[in-house]
Structures are given as structure tokens and as C-alpha cells.
Amino acid sequence: MEKSNDYLVGERIGTLMRKYAVPCIISLLVAALYNIVDQIFIANADYLGSYGNAANTVVFPLTVIALAIAVMIGDGCCAFVSLSLGRQNTKDAEQSIGNAVVLSAISGIALCVIYLLLQNPIVTVFGGTVNRETFEYSREYFFYITLGIPFYVFGQAINPVIRSDGSPKFAMVSTLAGAAANIVLDPIFIFMFKWGMMGAAVATVAGQIITAALAIWYLVHTKTVKLAKPSFKLRARIIGKIIPLGICSFLSQISLVAAMAAINNMIRKYGARDAIFSQAQYAQIPMAVVGIVMKFFQIVISIVVGMAAGCIPIVGYNMGAGEKARVKKLFTMLLECEAAVGAAALLIAELCPRRLIAIFGAANESVYYTEFAIKSFRIYLCMMIFACVNKAAFIFLQAMGRAVASTMLSMVREIAFGVGFSLLLPVWFGLDGVLYSMPVSDILTFVISAVVIAATYRRLLEDRPKRLIDKPCIMSRKTLT
């Protein structure tokens, strides 16, 4: 017997947000920890150090490309499933999930093949040629990480699908299980077996396989929908619904890759002109440090995105049911929470940069490493509050079905501003210009986001009389569930 999701239009907004957002935050935090944990252990292995750290930074964008494809499929499917269930259209929901499964499997395998065929050019494009040691470590880490790409794409794509089926806790547990395996295996492979970059990559892939296996198990035991063989037949109509709803998630990730490629190459170019970092033994430091700062930012953004993405099933279902007043209330609560997260992260980055960099092996490095890291944290992340609010607005619009507005905002932030300023500001400010590109981009994006947020509020104030008419029916639904 199918279970109803009608409680999404009857339960208290705060309760729903906690139920869906917290597991999603934990899932994304754990997913982010895959790469971050690798970097922590690599940084603290004296035979790898900042060379291994820089190599991790070089390869990181390649995992983001895989994640971009995964979230496009997964978030798009999640939004469409929620909208479909809100309209009581179970058939479309089932076909959407089946198509998402097939698309994620095909995409993961295809990306793995492309990576293997173009390994050296890809490593070069993302700044791996800063020196010989970094290039060799990058190639080693890249090769083994690539072997796990199909599992990574599949697991990350199905995770939001599981949430849309009403099982946010299982989605969290499946990701936690994989990350736990990675955390346990990393020190064994890196410190005990001395496998170096290969050990870090193999530990990561092992965790990704566990997450993918649990996703497969869940698909056989879905709650709200029932998958059958016809569900997995690719349908242009269904794909045409999924992709537009997930394209914002894709572009926000893939444009981040473009920004990272620009940043890495500007670091390599202007680092070579710096009095200190132009020396061979220090050349890898700026890339290693900026990679670490990005990892801290990724942790914060995982919380922000998790909070917003966790609301997708709630927003989609209530929009489908015509409950705009509830959607407006949720939007307000989300923006307040995201701003609070940004404020907390800002305080940590500004007040504790030395402690943060110590986690990533600063004790084994030169004083130049620590000094540049402190400056990077304080400049690069000084507009964290704006960055958090911007990201929340992008995802909320996507959940409302406003894919075009969401996509345009994301593209302006990541491509026009993110890539543009990282290429332009170093011309005048040298290596520091790379650091200035982040806060400048977030300030300008927030100005645009504020206008869009105001327009969204006006849109959600429409049909308020209808909300009052429907309320008795909503309350009766709640009583029944």
C-alpha cells in the first residue's frame, strides 16, 4: 500500500524543515568530507605534505564535475517527484525515479571513460604543472579516483531521490556509511601501508561503493512509489522535466569548476611572479593553501545547500498543492538560518585561521605556508554571509519550479563574476587578486539576489484568499495522517 506525503501540507514548517534539512545537511557534509578527509591525512603525511595537498587541489574539480552531473539528475528528479506527488501523480514520480537511475549509471560510466582517455591534458588544465612533484602526485590520485566515478555519480544522484521518497534519514545513513569507511581506511592506507596518493584515493572509492550499494538496496524497498520494469525505460518527456529542474544544481557545480580552473591557473601564473613562491621549493604552497580554504568553504556551503536542498520536497509538494503561504513562510525561515550559518562561518574564518590551517599539516611546512593561509582565509571568505544567502535563493527558486531564474542567477555568480574577477583582479593585484575575486563576486551577486528575493515574496503573496478557503481541507488531511 502506498504511503501518503500529505503531511507536507499539514505539519508545522519548522518541524518539516528539521526533519528534511538536518539529514540532508549531514549527507552533504559527509559527502564533502570524502575529499577533505583525504586532504587532512595527505597533509599530515610528511612524505606527501604540501605537494600532495596541491595535487588534491588539482584533482578536486574533477570530482566536482562528477557531482555536477549527479546533482543535476538527482535534484531534478527530487523536485519533479515532489511536484508530481503534490499533484497526486504517482505514475510520473515512478517513471522519474526509474529514468534518474538509468541516466546516472550511463553518465558515471561515460565520464570515467573520458577521464581515463584524457588524464594528462585534464591534470594540466587544472594547474597540475606547477612543479614536477605536484604533477606526478596529481596523476596518481586522479587515476584511482577516476575508477570510482561511476559509483560516486550513482550514489550522489540517488541520494536526493531517496529524500523525495520520504526517507531523508536513510539518505543520510547511506552517505555516512561510505564516509565512515573512508575515514577508517585513509590512515591505514596512507600511514600504515604507505600507499600515498593511491591509498587516499582507494579509501575514497571504497566508501563510494558502499554508498552506491545502499542506494541500490533502497530502490528495491521504496516507500511512496513502486518501481517496476517500465519505470526504467528512458522517456524524453520525463527527462525533459528532470533536466530543467536540475540544471541549476548542475550549473552551480560546473561553473564552480570553471572558477577553480581559472583560479588554479592564475595561482600558477602569478605565483611564479611572486618573490617567495617563484622559488621551486615553495611553488606549490599557494595552490595547496587556496585548496584548503576552498575545502573550508565547501563545508560551510554543504550546510547551506543541505538546508536549502532538504526543503525541496516540502517546497515542491506545497507548490503542487497550491500552498503558497506555507512556501513563503519556509523561504523566510530558510533565509534567516542561512544568514546565521554565514555569520558563524565568518567569525571562525576571521578569528581562527591559524587553528584551521594547523589541521592541514601546517606544522610540517614553512612559515610562508602559514602566513599565506591566514591571509587567504581572511580575505577569500570575508563575505560568507552574502555567499550563503545567495546559494539559498538559487536552490529555493529551483524547488519552486523557477528553473530559468535560478539558472540565470547561478550563472551570473559563478561564470560572469566568479571566473571573470578571478581572471581580471590578478592583473592589478597579483596573487592577492585571486583572493579578492570571491568577496567581490558575492557582494555583486547579493545585490541581484535581493531583487529576486523581493520579487519571489510578491509572487508567493498571490492566491492568499485561496489558501484561506483550502485551510479546513488541509487540517482534515493532517488529522487523517
Q: Per-residue confidence of the chain (481 residues) as pLDDT tens digits? A: 345 566 777 788 888 888 888 877 887 777 677 667 888 898 888 888 888 888 888 898 888 899 899 989 998 998 888 878 877 888 888 999 999 999 999 999 999 999 999 999 999 988 888 888 899 999 999 999 999 999 999 999 998 889 888 888 898 889 889 988 999 999 999 999 999 999 999 999 999 999 999 999 999 998 888 888 889 999 999 999 899 888 777 876 777 788 888 888 899 899 989 889 988 888 889 988 998 898 888 889 888 888 888 887 788 788 777 777 888 888 888 899 999 999 999 999 999 999 988 887 766 778 898 999 999 999 999 999 999 999 888 888 777 767 677 778 878 888 889 899 999 999 999 999 999 999 999 999 999 988 888 888 887 776 544 443 333 333 333 333 3
Spatial separation of the C-alpha atoms in residues 420 and 434, rounded to whole Å: 11
- The residue length of the chain stands at 481
Spatial separation of the C-alpha atoms in residues 75 and 246, rounded to whole Å: 5
SS3 call for 12: coil
Identity (one letter) of the amino acid at 347?
L
Cell 602569478 belongs to which residue?
270
Find out whether 100 and 242 touch, Cβ atoms under 8 Å.
Answer: yes
**Residues whose CB is less than 8 angstroms from the CB of residue 42 and which lie 6 or more positions away in sequence, other chains included:** 48, 52, 53, 55, 56, 190, 197, 200
CB-based burial label for 60 (10 Å; 0-12, 13-18, 19+): buried
Buried b (16+ CB within 10 A) or exposed e, 307-322: bbbbbbbbbbbbbbbb
CB-based burial label for 182 (10 Å; 0-12, 13-18, 19+): buried
Beta strands in 219-332 (DSSP E): none
